[in-house]
Amino acid sequence: MADLKIRNLKKGFDGTAIIKGIDLDVRDREFVVFVGPSGCGKSTLLRLIAGLEEVTSGTIELDGKDITDMAPAKRDLAMVFQTYALYPHMTVGKNLSFALDLAGVAKSEIKEKVENAARILELAPLLERKPKQLSGGQRQRVAIGRAIVRNPKIFLFDEPLSNLDAALRVQTRLELARLHQDLQATMIYVTHDQVEAMTLADKVVVLNGGRVEQVGSPLELYHHPANLFVAGFLGTPKMGFLRGVVSRCDATGCEVQLESGARVPLAQTAGHLAIGSPVTLGVRPEHLNVVAAGQGRMQVIADVSERLGSDTFCHVRSHSGEMLTVRVRGDFSPGYGEALELAFEPAHCHLFDADGQAIGKALQQAA
């Protein structure tokens, strides 16, 4: 069992608030990912959970027990650091057994646990080596192994893949997902990479400026972002945003008039918004199509294109100056400055009010 409850957690350094009141629940066996831009407080939040930073106010409970002021060693949590933080003077085997050794576990049991972790992570041939004799990927596995042998209540990962090259990162990401399945462990994972968040998480916590922007499953957040920040942060390439005003509101739905003049009828209410209120319409790249002249909703000018083989991402500029990205077939490649016409289904659009909050369609921000 490992149920973590965080209530109104705050942390400041020298009077600057870093974590500004966070409420969060992590359930047993859940894979929770904290994601957000640099400086959003995600690593600080993880360190507060680990006990490596002192809490300014608020509480952290683990299985009903208040651990807010408990020493890190007593929390029964294991952490994998971004820099791996292996003990350079110890062999791989000693790195793995250090925690058990400190806890006074019997030699035979230590041996068994180390061998088990080494088997899971394919570290058996490396047990006698020192960390400096290992590659980045191997060091990463030792760091994970060090956490596994302890069988902690919660595994904490602080951007564990950011020091690996691109190919190894993808591979290790898969291994981590598999490990979570095999161990049936509770894991909290910090990353700034939204691909890692989307692929690994049962639950994604999007953080920004020391606050939780939204909590939910990856697809929930992708399809129903609670605000402009989440909408823009999740998804590669990111969602395009078009400025406009509410031009009609009735029982059948509302209509948004974009700055470029196009009118987009939406089958949703405008919520609290009156006619004339400024809004932002969001459309994901995969929901935009390049169509023949006269058949689309808006005209744009092609900027640069990124060809990935299977797809091409065309960056385009609307007449009112907004930049959008369109995902098209891999063999389609418009020239720089070429005029294009775009179509999109109103059902795929996201509507945000002037404060950036989603209207109607999106779910309420979960606690």
Partner 1 sequence: MLTLKQTRRLHSVLLGTLAWAIAALIFFPILWMFLTSLKTEIDAIAMPPQFFFSPTLENYLLINERSDYFSFAWNSVLISFAATILCMLIAVPAAYSMAFFETRHTKRTLLWMLSTKMLPPVGVLMPIYLLAKSAGLLDSRISLIVIYTLINLPIVVWMIYTYFKDIPVDILEAARLDGASTWQEIVRVLLPIARGGLASTMLLSLILCWNEAFWSLNLTSSAAAPLTALVASYSSPEGLFWAKLSAVSTLACAPILIFGWISQKQLVRGLSFGAVK
Look up residue 72 and give its two tokens. 């890190």
Neighbours of 179 (CB within 10 A): 18
* Residue 267 interacts with partner 1 (CB under 8 A): yes or no: no
Specify the pairing of strand 154-158 against strand 77-80: parallel
Task: Point out which span in 74-82, 188-196, 270-278, 302-310 binds partner 1 (CB under 8 A).
Answer: 74-82
Give me the least distance between CB of 165 and partner 1, in Å please: 19
**Residue of the chain from 2, 9, 67, 79 that contacts partner 1 (CB under 8 A):** 79
Q: Using CB under 8 A, pick the residue from 26, 48, 67, 78 that binds partner 1.
A: 78
Q: In angstroms, what is the minimal distance from the CB of 79 to partner 1?
A: 5
Site string for partner 1, 81-120 (x = CB under 8 A): xxx-xxxxx--------xx--xx-----------------
Site string for partner 1, 268-297 (x = CB under 8 A): ------------------------------
SS3 state of residue 216:
strand
Based on CB atoms, which residue is closest to partner 1, 12 or 278? 12
Residue in the block written with tokens 């060809």: 307
Q: How many residues bind partner 1 (CB under 8 A)?
A: 23
Residue number, 65 or 89, with CB nearest to partner 1:
89
Using the minimum distance from each CB to partner 1, give the nearer residue, 75 or 203.
Answer: 75
DSSP 8-class letter at 152: -
Q: Is 313 in the site for partner 1 (CB under 8 A)?
A: no
Shortest Cβ 75–partner 1 spacing (Å): 8
> To the nearest whole angstrom, how small is the minimum distance from the Cβ of residue 180 to partner 1?
20
Which residue, 83 or 181, has its beta carbon nearer to partner 1? 83
Quote the least distance from Cβ 98 to partner 1, whole Å: 6
User: Residue 121: which of 147, 139, 145 has the closest Cα?
Assistant: 145
252 half-sphere exposure, CB direction, 13 A CA radius = 3
Tell me the C-alpha distance between 228 and 58, whole Å. 28
Query: Residue 44, Cβ neighbours under 10 Å: how many?
Result: 20
Q: Where do the H-state alpha helices sit in the chain?
A: 42-50, 92-102, 107-120, 136-148, 166-183, 194-200, 218-223, 228-233
Burial of 81 (0-12, 13-18, 19+ CB in 10 A): middle
DSSP 14-56: TTEEEEEEEEEEE-TT-EEEEE-STTSSHHHHHHHHHTSS--S
Select 52 or 249, whichever has its Cβ closest to partner 1: 52
Q: Which residues bind partner 1 (CB under 8 A)?
A: 50-52, 71-73, 77-79, 81-83, 85-89, 98-99, 102-103, 146, 150
